[in-house]
Structure 1
Amino acid sequence: MRMGDEPQPAPGDQPSYNGCDQGKDLRQSPGIDGDIIAKKWKPGRESEEVLRGEEDAGGQRQRPMGSERMEMRKRQMSVHQETVSSSQAQQGVGNRGSNACCFCWCCCCSCSCLTVRNQEDERTRRSSNEIRGAGIPNCEESPTPTLEDVYSWGQSFDKLMTTPAGRNAFREFLRTEFSEENMLFWMACEDLKKEANKNVIEEKARLIYEDYISILSPKEVSLDSRVREVINRNMLEPSQHTFDDAQLQIYTLMHRDSYPRFMNSAIYKNLLQTLSETTAES
């Protein structure tokens, strides 16, 4: 090869310009049944257009018939519609899963059965609040205790708990020790035992469980695992005696732990002194 001679491109090759494929406009590959597939590549575009034709007698490529182009267009449109429909269906199912009601698949807020369900929920919450509000008063109504009554409280914890005035004084002391929930739970169990209506029993049992047994409640009472298991079994069919074991355990806890401190507290001593002075003056 002589100096200055440049290599000649091989037959059939086209030079590229600026690294692009502009020189390769058409590449031919044999197709089905002798057809020729012509792929036309355009710079800067990722898509390709496939042209299918047959060579005529002069070797010129012919474009596909109009029916074939229409068929290809229909296929593309059908694939696109199926993709869009499937995505919308999945989105619709997701929306219905969170908002649909039990009778229909609509997700509108004006659905009649959703309105009925909201009304029932509101009615249930209202009845629960009424039962909870009418359950245990902040202070029981009781006559002023006598000096003999106060002395009897110091002799027996049972006598303290059987009189409203004694429960009020002991409850006031428990409030100073941040353990008033023990007395409230015991009183709620006593109130449950007096109920005869099955529906009210179930509702009161549920409220007692939520207020004093649940570990999520700020007023949870201290119970061992055995008693909690008993309560969980009893809650399957609540009755007046669902919390008997738990009530006895809390009663024993107050008797052994809180009662001795109550007898030495300022609340009990001041009450005893006040009644003693009143009796002496009379």
Structure 2
Amino acid sequence: MVSARILCCSEGPELAPQNLGNPLHSPMPTPHEAEKQHTGPEEADRPPSMSSHDAAPSGPPSRNPCCLCWCCCCSCSWNQERQRAWQVSRESKLQPLPSCEVCTPPSPEEVQSWAQSFDKLMHSPTGRSVFRAFLRTEYSEENMLFWLACEELKAEANQHVVDEKARLIYEDYVSILSPKEVSLDSRVREGINRKMQEPSPHTFDDAQLQIYTLMHRDSYPRFLTSPTYRSLLLQGAPQSSEA
């Protein structure tokens, strides 16, 4: 009995520190353990997360590498502005004739004046519309479209819009890769290529004059003998005879 009692007393001091139920005998927690006790065992092993107030500002989005090239997949503000200007130019470049000009029937006197000179035909909005329809039957409508686009370019004062419209005119009517390419000689083409480095409202003046002359000498005589023009003359004939 005595030996067993001594053994029990000697084990007392060793078992006392392991009594976790009594806070007075608990060992001092280490800093790492204290952090785990504060945040929980699962959150302590998780990377620290920032709240919405402590989150660092995201800053401007990094520039897409495609901004360094002339493609359209970039979302930077410069390319978006360029795309908007391009869209405005694309939508308006072939709208020089209001719909009322196409719908307004010409008077007999006006129709007869078209035979007097090509200038009178081209200065008449309705005459341009009728002549354009005739050129479409001859698969040469691009000549009128080019001339009208040049007229619109010469009326533009905004340099940024001038640059965009000049580029569109070049791609649509001057480039050899375009299906609507107009017939220009090498001298005029070389002059356009030089002027395209710094486009202006008069970049295509020489080319416009050449196409104007081509329509005057080639298409205009056939237009005057075409069924389209003769039918317009006959429509006004009864009114002229009654007068």
| TM-score bin (small chain) | 0.5 to 0.7
**Aligned pair 1:203/2:161, yes or no?**
no
Q: What per-residue deviation string (whole Å, max 9, x for no partner) do you get for residues 204-241 of structure 1?
A: 11110011000111110000000000000111111111
Using a 3 Å threshold, how does the CA distance of structure 1 residues 279 and 152 change in structure 2: closer, same or farther?
A: same
Q: What per-residue deviation string (whole Å, max 9, x for no partner) do you get for residues 2-39 of structure 1?
A: xxxxxxxxxxxxxxxxxxxxxxxxxxxxxxxxxxxxxx
TM (norm. structure 2) is: 0.66
**Aligned pair 1:173/2:134, yes or no?**
yes
Structure 1: distance between partners of 2:128 and 2:211 = 15
Using a 3 Å threshold, how does the CA distance of structure 1 residues 136 and 281 change in structure 2: closer, same or farther?
A: farther
1:153-232 equivalences in 2 (<5 Å): 153-232=114-193
How big is the shift at 1:133? 1.2
- The corresponding residue for 1:41 is none
The number of aligned residues is: 173
Retained in 1: the 8 A contact 2:85–2:161? Answer: no
How big is the shift at 1:125? 3.0
Retained in 1: the 8 A contact 2:114–2:127? Answer: yes
How big is the shift at 1:276? 2.2
Using a 3 Å threshold, how does the CA distance of structure 1 residues 138 and 201 change in structure 2: closer, same or farther?
A: closer
Please say which structure displays the higher CA radius of gyration.
Answer: 1
Task: Specify which of 125, 145, 148 is matched with residue 83 of structure 2.
Answer: 125
Structure having the larger proportion of residues in strand: 1
How big is the shift at 1:115? 7.9
1:48-59 equivalences in 2 (<5 Å): none
TM (norm. structure 1) is: 0.57
Structure having the larger proportion of residues in helix: 2
**Aligned pair 1:112/2:73, yes or no?**
no
Structure 2: distance between partners of 1:216 and 1:123 = 27
RCO comparison, higher one (Cα < 8 Å, 6+): 2
Structure 1's unaligned 5+ residue stretches are 1-110
1:76-115 equivalences in 2 (<5 Å): 112-114=62-64
- The corresponding residue for 1:244 is 205
Structure 1: distance between partners of 2:157 and 2:87 = 20
**Aligned pair 1:234/2:184, yes or no?**
no
**Aligned pair 1:136/2:94, yes or no?**
yes
How big is the shift at 1:279? 4.9
Which AA in structure 1 matches 2:205? D
1:124 aligns to what SS in structure 2? helix
How big is the shift at 1:135? 1.9
Retained in 1: the 8 A contact 2:223–2:229? Answer: yes
Structure 2: distance between partners of 1:123 and 1:281 = 60
Q: What per-residue deviation string (whole Å, max 9, x for no partner) do you get for residues 181-213 of structure 1?
A: 000000000001111111111111111001100
